[in-house]
Amino acid sequence: MNGNESSALAAPAAGRKPAVPRRALRDGVYDAILERLLDGSTPQGSSLGIDSLARELEVSPTPVREALVQLEHTGLISRVALKGYRVAPPLSPEQLAELFDLRTILETAAVERAVPRTGDLLPELRAAHARHVLHAQRVRTSRGARGRAAGFSDLRECFAADWEFHLTIIRASGNRFLLKTAESLSAQVLRLRQTADPGTTDIESAVDEHAAILAAFESGDSERPAVALREHLAAVARRASAGG
């Protein structure tokens, strides 16, 4: 490869703008629509018009269309022939059971593989748990200040911290394919949040159950972490099935 060819690869063609600003705009639109889907302001079955969303968000239709395509892959919305995009219904009881079955299989395998790496895992897991505790406290404070529902941003940060606790263990498994599969479930975990009303009691229960998983790793007992993880997922499944 000569110098001219190298320069041509290193720099965008003359007059072409880098793609980063467009991706940033699409991601911003994605987040704005996602917030509407998860904060309860857009009920199940609601139509999601590209042009109307573009006007509300003060953007062109293109990033809205791209964001909706991306959201369709999460299962949070669906595209109906001749009718456009609509908010999808919540997960059915059968889908919930299958999701938690998969999570239990995957995360138990990850925990078992992470146990031999407990020494390296513990500092990261303690930090992940501390972040979850912090965000759960912010949700409680927000609920107290508002007298009812917590702000969406507080809930979303708490949910992210909850899922990150699980991902921290899965990363420690040392199996990249387990991790990749778990990351692909992130959208379905979001959809689970759409299905079940995440009350403060559920958040507090999740924090306590994560603390039990952390304590199981700290105990040095090789069997306890998997037991604590399975008990946690079973409890989350019961709460989700009960609607909160």
Structure-model confidence comparison of residues 142 and 107, the more confident one: 107
User: What is the per-residue pLDDT for 139?
Assistant: 87
User: What is the per-residue pLDDT for 88?
Assistant: 87
User: What is the per-residue pLDDT for 108?
Assistant: 98
Percent of the chain with pLDDT over 90: 52
Helix (H, G, I), strand (E, B), or coil: what is residue 134? helix
Q: Which domains does the chain have, with CATH numbers?
A: 14-87 (1.10.10.10), 93-242 (1.20.120.530)
pLDDT at 148 over 80: no
User: What is the per-residue pLDDT for 135?
Assistant: 94
Rounded average pLDDT over 182-189: 84
- For 4-29, b/e burial (b = at least 16 CB within 10 A) is eeeeeeeeeeeeeeeeeeeeebbeeb
Rounded average pLDDT over 31-50: 84
How many CA atoms does the CB half-sphere of 223 hold within 13 Å?
Answer: 0
Distance CA(116)–CA(134), nearest Å, equals 28
Structure-model confidence comparison of residues 219 and 193, the more confident one: 219
User: What is the per-residue pLDDT for 146?
Assistant: 52
Backbone angles phi, psi at 196, to 5 degrees: -105, 135
Question: Which band of pLDDT confidence, cut at 50, 70 and 90, is reported for residue 22?
Answer: low
Mean pLDDT of the chain: 84
pLDDT at 198 over 60: no
Distance CA(76)–CA(86), nearest Å, equals 9
Structure-model confidence comparison of residues 149 and 241, the more confident one: 241
Q: Are 128 and 164 in contact (CB under 8 A)?
A: yes
Percent of the chain with pLDDT over 70: 81
Q: Retrieve residue 165's tokens.
A: 């606790």
Structure-model confidence comparison of residues 197 and 81, the more confident one: 81
Rounding to the nearest 10 degrees, give the CA dihedral for residues 195, 198, 199, 203: 140
Span 97-133, pLDDT tens digits: 999 999 999 999 999 999 999 999 999 999 999 999 9
